[in-house]
Structure 1
Amino acid sequence: MGNRVSTVLARQLGGQLLAFREAAGMNQSRAAEALSSQTAKVAKMERGWVPFRDPDIVALCKLYGVEEEDVVTGLLRLAKLDRERRRAKGWWSVLSPGNLREYIAMEDAALKVRIWQLSLIPGLFQTADYIRAMAVPDLSADGIAQIEQVVDVRRRRQARLYGDDPLQVHAVIWEAALRQLVGGAQAMSQQLTHLRAVAELPNVHLQVLPFRAGGYPGIGGPFNILSFADEGAVDVVHMDGLRSTTWVEGREESAAYANLFGRLCGVSLSPYDSIQLIESIGKEMRP
């Protein structure tokens, strides 16, 4: 019974299969025949209510005429990660169940992430000292252990920025996040030095929205857009609040956030000018 829940990953996978079925002009009954199953199973799959079997994904892709190997491989990767998440077998299973574990599981499966951040350096770019400074002060043994767990989780997430198949990241950061002295001037100076180095990675596209831009779209709050397949696939938007997390999964809704992100990019500095501003602010913080 524990697997009979709808997860974000499964809904993402089910939504892509639904889009392929509709593009092929087929109904759920035809899909069920290909699986030698009932229509109800296809309905549950498309709504993300059940874990996906690899043979079912391959059979449906063949039926729908989806022949691109990288697309099928991407779907199989999502299914595998969803099964691991349900059994809590990913590296992120060390975290307590909740929104953070859900997001990290999603990020671990994503091919690309677009980030809009107002007041903090994005987690993928944070140094260990910055992370520790952001933690609520707690000098007890348990408190220190929890902080170091957060540092370790960030480090594991950041590993996806490197390697043969790195995560593609496009981040827009408001200038305020660069000037906030998290951990003091020295720690923040080191953070900006690291941010500049990360911005040089070929898979990272970093822009800064400067104060002089004036009024700007996206002032309502930060968000991340996670992409799992080629252009045209439905993205998932993640927003963290003080006491809750919001997932936006519909095609029209996610497209609206993608449009908003594009507008933010349009009023932000170029990557080159962004690096120049980061260097300038960093110099102001050095003794």
Structure 2
Amino acid sequence: MKQSADTSSRVSTVLGRKLGTELLHLRDSAGKTQQQAAQTLSATSTKVVKIERGWVPVRDPDLRALCSYYGVTDDAVLRSLLELAKLDRERRRAKGWWQQLPGAGALSEYIALEDAASRVRTWQLAFVPGLLQTAEYARALAVGEGTWEDPDEVDQMVGTRLKRQERLHGDRPLHVYAVVWEAALRQLVGGPSVMRAQLDQVRELTELPNVQLQVLPYRAGAHACAASSFTIVSFAEDAAADVTHADTIGTTVWVENQELSTTYRTFFERTARQALAQRDSLTLIDEIRKGL
């Protein structure tokens, strides 16, 4: 994952961005400016900007003052915003192992989102999803990509990937729905022995009740998700919108706009309908493994 321009050190603020967006809409509807809102808080407009962009936590007194100024009279709306602010503050205080990753940048934010998530849906064109990878497969990918020159950095990356897989087990297991292009399973990452072990692990993990995998075969032809891979991260809290994450060669893309998020979900579902059912997908995986 590449470093994005604005995610160098922050904790996941998906809930903060959701709250900020709600407050921005309320301000716009009330016909107020950021400067006027700032005066209500006896603060500068910079503070309002940071609140609306989800960069800082919001105290309950400030939230109540803004809602009153914006003319919010519905107690249910106010309670919802207060709960969202509370969840955001709690999430920011949480200290996760991923925050100790030197230079991880956007990777740290993604792991924070994944750790807080209840479900991820991932579409992969080129490789097995990270949550399903073996150490040897992950290492071969890192070496092949060439981003990490120091062997210690490669070891750290592999360890991080394996640490993430702990979310597949335990008291609150992450639900994973993966759709993978057949090419990703045929690419000899690390050679035949590494790929055999990787396909075996995919098979093993699909036995978990919280892991679902489908393979989009070559014969499916054209499909909605041919342009790029992406992952949709979903949360248990009703107030938290889905976040879609996609890596390109040079940047990391985050999509939190509701309309665009819906588009990604629609495209994912279309491609999943063209993919093989899990039972047939595992049969194809067995055929690929035998051919190695």
What TM-score do you get using the length of structure 1 for normalisation? 0.77
Q: Which residue of 2 aligns with 1:91?
A: 97
- What is the rounded CA distance, in whole Å, between the counterparts of 2:119 and 2:87 in structure 1? 14
Q: CA deviation at 1:169?
A: 1.0
- What is the rounded CA distance, in whole Å, between the counterparts of 2:144 and 2:24 in structure 1? 52
- 8 Å CA contact 1:28–1:43 kept in 2: the answer is no
- What is the rounded CA distance, in whole Å, between the counterparts of 1:100 and 1:255 in structure 2? 24
Q: State the superposition RMSD in angstroms.
A: 3.7
Task: Encode CA deviations 1:174-223: one digit per residue, 9 max, x unaligned.
Answer: 00011111111111001000001111111111111011101111111101
Q: Which residue of 2 aligns with 1:15?
A: 18
Q: Which residue of 2 aligns with 1:239?
A: 246
- What is the rounded CA distance, in whole Å, between the counterparts of 2:220 and 2:144 in structure 1? 35
The answer for unaligned runs of 5 or more in structure 1 is none
Q: CA deviation at 1:21?
A: 10
Q: CA deviation at 1:51?
A: 2.6
- 8 Å CA contact 1:12–1:249 kept in 2: the answer is no
**Closer, same or farther in 2 for the Cα pair 1:77/1:11, shift >3 Å?**
closer
Q: Which residue of 2 aligns with 1:280?
A: 287
- 8 Å CA contact 2:12–2:113 kept in 1: the answer is yes
Q: SS of the residue aligned with 2:176?
A: strand
Instruction: Identify which of structures 1 and 2 has the higher relative contact order when contacts are C-alpha pairs closer than 8 Å and 6+ apart.
Output: 2
1:81 to 2:81 alignment: no
**Closer, same or farther in 2 for the Cα pair 1:269/1:128, shift >3 Å?**
same
Q: CA deviation at 1:171?
A: 0.7
1:200 to 2:213 alignment: no
Moved more, 114-123 or 225-234: 225-234
Q: Which residue of 2 aligns with 1:162?
A: 169
Identical counterparts, % of pairs? 44
Residues 256-275 of structure 1: matches in 2 within 5 Å?
256-275=263-282
Q: SS of the residue aligned with 2:143?
A: coil
Aligned partner (choices 159, 164, 179) of residue 172 of structure 1: 179
**Closer, same or farther in 2 for the Cα pair 1:137/1:195, shift >3 Å?**
closer
1:47 to 2:53 alignment: yes
Q: SS of the residue aligned with 1:195?
A: helix
**Closer, same or farther in 2 for the Cα pair 1:17/1:166, shift >3 Å?**
farther
**Closer, same or farther in 2 for the Cα pair 1:97/1:6, shift >3 Å?**
closer
Q: CA deviation at 1:132?
A: 1.3
One-letter identity of the residue aligned with 1:80 = E
Q: Which residue of 2 aligns with 1:129?
A: 136
**Closer, same or farther in 2 for the Cα pair 1:53/1:160, shift >3 Å?**
farther
- 8 Å CA contact 2:230–2:247 kept in 1: the answer is yes
One-letter identity of the residue aligned with 2:56 = V
Task: Encode CA deviations 1:232-278: one digit per residue, 9 max, x unaligned.
Answer: 85211111011111111111111111111111111111111112211
- What is the rounded CA distance, in whole Å, between the counterparts of 1:28 and 1:77 in structure 2? 28
- What is the rounded CA distance, in whole Å, between the counterparts of 1:20 and 1:229 in structure 2? 22
Q: SS of the residue aligned with 2:121?
A: strand
Q: CA deviation at 1:56?
A: 7.5
What TM-score do you get using the length of structure 2 for normalisation? 0.76
- What is the rounded CA distance, in whole Å, between the counterparts of 2:128 and 2:88 in structure 1? 28
- What is the rounded CA distance, in whole Å, between the counterparts of 1:50 and 1:237 in structure 2? 22
- What is the rounded CA distance, in whole Å, between the counterparts of 1:208 and 1:265 in structure 2? 8
Q: Which residue of 2 aligns with 1:107?
A: 114
Residues 145-156 of structure 1: matches in 2 within 5 Å?
145-156=152-163
- 8 Å CA contact 1:181–1:188 kept in 2: the answer is yes
- What is the rounded CA distance, in whole Å, between the counterparts of 2:161 and 2:64 in structure 1? 34
- What is the rounded CA distance, in whole Å, between the counterparts of 2:63 and 2:163 in structure 1? 29
- 8 Å CA contact 1:57–1:76 kept in 2: the answer is no
- What is the rounded CA distance, in whole Å, between the counterparts of 2:202 and 2:18 in structure 1? 35
- What is the rounded CA distance, in whole Å, between the counterparts of 2:111 and 2:31 in structure 1? 32
